[in-house]
Structure 1
Amino acid sequence: MIRKSIILTKISEIEESVNLIDDNLPETFEEFRGLGLVRDGMYRRLEFAVENVFDICSILNSDLKLGVPGSDGDVLENLLGAGIIDEETFRKVKAMRGFRNIVVHRYGKIDDRITFRILREHLRDFHEFTEKIRKTLETLENK
């Protein structure tokens, strides 16, 4: 049995975080750099969104009994192998995890210019992920 309500709640949390980032993300890097606490809030919301993506992946892995993973990477491999996610989604989610680790663990100093570019170019990856998961839930429900 799939814990659909929990997954849908996490999708809503992802969408809320991504929309808040998108609504407050300025057009230029110079404006972004000057945001101070708002910029820090964007980092935190991004971290929260990525954590929810991995929570969803872990729930699906568990509920579909795809195996006991040793890491987030194993969860993604299991979902890919079961056809729950495709190769493109696998790559994007793996990149999300890598970026989240940089933000959370502050490996070196975070380059705001790179972060700004990532936010401008990859926020839509979250929307693509949530849409794919919604479709997956529908498909699984109809089986």
Structure 2
Amino acid sequence: MPVFISYRHTDRAQAIAINARLTQANIKTYIDVLDAESQSTDDITGVITRRITECTHLLAVVSEQTARSWWVPFEIGEATISNRRICSFKTGSSELPLYLDKWPKLTSDNDVSFFIEAYREEATTKRSVILDSVNESMRGVYQQNAELFHNQLKTRVRRGY
């Protein structure tokens, strides 16, 4: 169940810190700067799209700089189409775009801990997280599980414990 970390390159330090935190928690991640293929390809869009479909979660690092990026919204869109679990991590003091309200918004190290716990709970309970095309009934179960993940994490972040 890898986590795709999406970010604008001006937010690279924060993305790498989150990547390190998830890796330390034994969570597999994908971040482009550590992927030799993404550094050498002529088809970066194809690589990024494929990597998103290989992951179960997308965590987008979002700052005021992200508004000038088209990659982060593209990656969030690809994750949405692929029915991935999506979260954002807000850096700085600017407000996040309204379209991110649908998913949990992380703003602190404590919130990243909540994400890690939610991720582990999902893995422990073996709630279905699909990567490939499935029949419509399984797609419905997967969607319900994704909504459960999002709602539980939102509640936990809102409560702060």
Larger-Rg structure: 1
The answer to which structure, 1 or 2, has the higher relative contact order (CA under 8 A, 6+ apart) is: 1
User: Under a length normalisation based on structure 2, what TM-score does the superposition of the two structures give?
Assistant: 0.26
User: Under a length normalisation based on structure 1, what TM-score does the superposition of the two structures give?
Assistant: 0.28
Higher helix share: 1
Higher strand share: 2
